[in-house]
Amino acid sequence: MERMSSKSSLVIAPEQPISARPKVGFVSLGCPKNLVDSEVMMGMLAQGGAELVPRAEDADVIVVNTCSFIESAQQESVNTILEMARLKEGRAKKLVVAGCLVERFRDEIQKNIPDVDAVVGTGELENILGAAGLTQPQSADSPFRILTSRPEGDARAAAGRFSRDSWDGAISDLPNYLYDETTPRVLATARSTAYIKIAEGCDHPCGFCIIPQLRGKFRSRRFESVIAEAERLARSGVKEITLIGQDTTCYGEDFGLKDGLALLLQKLAAIEELRWVRFLYAYPNKITNQLLETIGAHDKICSYIDVPLQHASAATLKRMKRGGSADIFHRTLEKARRTIPNVTLRTSFIVGYPGETEKEFEELCEFVRAAEFDWMGTFAYSDQEGAKAHELEGKLPLKEIERRRKHLMQIQKGISKRKKKALRGKQYDVLLEGASEESDLLLEGRSEMHAPEIDGKLYIADVPEELTPTPGEFYRAEITETHDYDLVARIV
């Protein structure tokens, strides 16, 4: 498995014609799930003879792997495509748009942005080869199509959950792509850490979300495939693995595995070279006792749970088609805290969902005050054509949605400040990431409490004189200063 020095690109030899050995630059937007798709496409390109280059300006072919999660993400994707299109006035000969935006707006992209030479959807990643001017394998030969499904997903499909009928130009086949351990992949993360996508797609019916239409039905990678990839990564120097998927807690259900995620974590914790194993994106009612006990029982499994709850008012959750309530969620959090000492809890919410009354919003605020999350994000609801919520009555003005978002984050800021202050003087193992972008005088690292890229910062301000700190290594550090979200530490 190769690595890229930067997560934003890919490459080849300059004076050769594009068809022989193109230099490919990559811009990857969106979430870690999208990043893994970018890494897989980069792997296929490198194996197919391309040279990956870190600067788009140096590329013959520029690929923008887009995100279509919410309106602002779509806008960022479009802006990036337009920005990259300008480079066709220079060296770049081809602009390829890949990812979620393609699944959603395939026709519009090609019609409205003539500089785009090819599009590659989330279910046709191997088409990146042909798009970049390399030899395209026959899709029938692709080893990367694995589709199992769950009765839940099949029933939702029959009820129209995955329908793209109202989307102009969408291809009717849902993506069924899923990479495996034999898929070439060029890692774009720091040397010591890597994501592994253990499942793709989602069967849940959440009213605000079009990911199931974009990514297809839920399907898991084979157990042995995930382990084989983790072992290979560990052998290549990776010390931290983060399992991802739209819903990691459903892992294995499609091939009849009960508590599949817990079993997977146990197996990964036995890989000697790994120091940390973590997972993201738990679905609240899928957090089982066995999962909690497994996290609590293994030192290598980070005591960290990211469970996007989306709301806490039972009425809003019902309209979101998610279920649950503040009481149910409190019980889950309480059980997690009881089973896993010092567990770090992260969540995210959507405010301003259609019909969200002042009372429902206050219920959410009350829940946040009582739940005391370690990390929390809040999204302002935005309308997505194709999502069920789009058809709902009771849309709130943008100004009011923004007011609610800020208010909720203000509550969390106070909680976070207090919780971070309580960490002063405590010591943690810290994975050193390197120099800080904030200042040359600071280093940055992460503790078990910090998942890659999403949580607050941990700055290292003080290092013993005799020590030359090496990025990718673990150090013991004491928290010396705390802020609203960030921590400052010294290596001891």
Interacting residues toward ligand SF4 by CB under 6 A = 202, 204, 206, 209, 211-212, 246-247, 283
**Closest CA relative to residue 162, chosen from 393, 387, 392, 319:** 387
Minimum Å distance from CB 465 to ligand SF4? 48
Taking only Cα atoms into account, the Rg of the chain, rounded to an integer number of angstroms, comes to: 22
- Tokens 């970049």: give the residue: 132
Query: Do the Cβ atoms of 249 and 287 come closer than 8 Å?
Result: yes
- Residue nearer to ligand SF4 on the CB measure, 292 or 317: 317
Tell me how far apart the alpha carbons of residues 169 and 165 are, in angstroms, rounded to a whole number. 9
The terminus-to-terminus CA distance of the chain in angstroms comes to: 34
- Name the token pair of 396: 């709130």
Minimum distance between the CB of residue 205 and ligand SF4, rounded to whole angstroms? 7
**Which of 27, 211 has the CB closer to ligand SF4?**
211
Tell me whether residue 265 or residue 350 sits nearer to ligand SF4 (CB atom). Answer: 350
Cα–Cα dist 329/285, whole Å: 9
CB-based contacts of 330, cutoff 8 Å, min separation 6: 367, 370, 371
| 421 Cβ contact list (under 8 Å, min separation 6) | 482
Nearer to ligand SF4, 24 or 282 (CB): 282
CB of 340 or CB of 389, closer to ligand SF4: 389
State the DSSP string of 375-399. EEEEEEP---TTSGGGG-S-PPPHH
CB of 327 to ligand SF4, least distance (A): 21
The minimum distance between CB 278 and ligand SF4, in angstroms, equals 18
CB of 92 to ligand SF4, least distance (A): 33
Burial class (CB in 10 A: 0-12, 13-18, 19+), 404: buried
Nearer CB in complex with ligand SF4: 193/347 = 347
CB of 211 to ligand SF4, least distance (A): 4
Distance, in Å, from the CA atom of 115 to the CA atom of 85, rounded to the nearest integer, reads 6
| Closer of 85 and 309 to ligand SF4 (Cβ) | 309
Cβ at position 163, least distance to ligand SF4 in Å: 14
How far apart are the C-alpha atoms of 226 and 54, rounded to whole Å? Answer: 28
Our CB check for ligand SF4 shows the closer of 151 and 237 to be 151
How far is 276 from 456, CA to CA, in rounded Å?
18
**396 residue type, one letter:** L
CB of 487 to ligand SF4, least distance (A): 29
